[in-house]
Amino acid sequence: MSKILIIEDEVAIADLEKDYLELSGFEVAMEHAGDTGLARALAEDFDLIVLDLMLPGIDGFEVCRQIREKKRAMTEAEIVEKSEKLGLLFAASPLYQNANTIYGYLPYNQEVRTIPMMEQALKDGKRVAIPKCYGAEMKFIFIDDLTKVEKGYANIPEPIADEPVADDTTALVLMPGLAFDPQGHRCGYGGGFYDKFLAAEPEHPTLALCYEFQMLPHLETEEHDIPVDYVLWA
């Protein structure tokens, strides 16, 4: 199935385009601002991008230019290299060193390659848990074999097992996202799973790992958005 991204600030127009394309058998994602649209276009692989030119934040011409420039620039070798650098920064961070438990995640599309980091955490004697979605709810499942996973919500890798459910309210939570800013604001994938999880368990320290192009000067936030404590990028 072909995957299409619509970047359009007029919600009614975007919804109409989405409905039409889905009826034609396409998988469709939407963003309503230039900066978040750019971040999503760079973080995921799309067969087609439907791009409005008059967008808030970054206009469509600039979004198009940056997609062409940065998509060409990020080879698999560069993704691995940047992920290795982030792995070193992560392991050296006080948040990691002081944590007994890591609530991590497995990479989706071009996200930072977190599997070596989770493997190192297990070698360091830490407990590792990976998220699994049940409808609108997300739970973290303890895991000691990172090969025992399957595609789950939105084709994101999840543990095959449903237990043991992680129960460490002081665990360090790694936060995935499309874009971040220096204040720790985050643009996620639209499901709201992490915001709901952290609203219920606010004691967790949080940390995000991202590429340099995912760091934006400023992100617009909503009332329910919970900022990340620290962001590391390379």
Closest alpha carbon to 43 in 35, 52, 51:
35
Q: What is the pLDDT of residue 189?
A: 82
Q: What is the pLDDT of residue 213?
A: 83
Contact 174, 217 (CB under 8 A): no
For residue 102, is pLDDT > 90? Answer: yes
3-state SS class at 183? coil
* Residue range 205-221, pLDDT digits in tens: 999 999 988 888 888 77
- 106 vs 167: CA distance, rounded Å: 19
* Residue range 56-73, pLDDT digits in tens: 878 888 888 888 777 666
3-state SS class at 5? strand
The pLDDT-based confidence of 1 (bands split at 50, 70, 90) is: low
* Residue range 140-181, pLDDT digits in tens: 999 999 999 999 998 899 999 999 999 999 999 999 988 888
Bridge pairing between strands 186-187 and 179-180: antiparallel
> In terms of CATH architecture, what is 3-73?
3-Layer(aba) Sandwich (3.40)
Share of the chain above pLDDT 90, in %: 66
Mean pLDDT to the nearest integer, 187-196: 88
For the chain, what are the domain ranges?
A: 3-73, 76-233
The pLDDT-based confidence of 106 (bands split at 50, 70, 90) is: very high
Most confident of 17-21, 64-68, 178-182, 189-193: 17-21
- Give CA separation, 120 vs 18, 50, 97, 205, in Å: 41, 40, 12, 19
Output the average pLDDT for the chain.
Answer: 91
Contact 41, 63 (CB under 8 A): yes
> In terms of CATH architecture, what is 76-233?
3-Layer(aba) Sandwich (3.40)
Closest alpha carbon to 97 in 88, 106, 85:
88
Closest alpha carbon to 228 in 169, 168, 159, 178:
178
Give strand pairing partners of 107: none
Work out the burial of residue 95: count CB atoms within 10 Å of its CB; fewer than 13 is exposed, 13-18 middle, 19 or more buried: middle
